Amino acid sequence: MNIRRIATILASLIVAATVCTACASATTTEGTSTSHTVRIPSRWNTYAYAKAKISVPRSWAVIRDSNCPDASALGTLELGIPKVLSNCTEISPAINTVTLSSLTAGTNYKALSCSPVNVNELLVYVGPCSTSNAPGIIEWFIPTLGVEATGTGSRTVVDRILHTLRRK
């Protein structure tokens, strides 16, 4: 290997370690506190739903009280779901979608999720815990905000957006 290639690999490892450290400090186990400050990329917009705020890239579509993602956008943020679900055209599970909705009264979110984690000073119950999550759905139950966040699509993209959830 030449020195330039070794330097490039070493630099990549340092960047990866820094990113992993930042991710680890953003999410900790229940009972621990975090002083993590949410960093929103400059080209992202912030939206409010109930007691929550969330940020997404400007290239994402944002819809309210609808359950049909915009397949022409790079992703869709759905704020609320309608009382009567729309009959959407076939939706690919590969479309990046994050939906914020009210936490349904009586939902046993503790049974639907793994051990809770602390994200942005919020106790979050994350699910599903099973290893057979074929559609790649991520669910976050946040009782203190009274919201449920559901994400589908690229796990990397959806996780990054979910980690912007915070108090309004």
| pLDDT for res 123 | 94
What is the pLDDT, as a whole number, of residue 115? Answer: 79
Residues 6+ apart with CB under 8 A from 132: none
- Report d(CA 144, CA 123) in Å as an integer: 7
How far is residue 158's CA from residue 104's CA, in Å, rounded to a whole number?
Answer: 22
Would you give per-residue pLDDT tens digits along the chain (168 residues)? Answer: 444 433 334 334 333 333 333 333 343 333 444 445 688 999 999 999 999 999 999 999 999 988 888 888 999 999 998 887 777 776 666 789 999 999 988 888 888 788 799 999 999 999 887 666 556 789 999 999 999 999 999 989 999 999 999 999
Domain boundaries, the chain: 28-167
Strand pairing partners for 99? 78, 150
Predicted confidence at residue 101, as pLDDT, reads 95
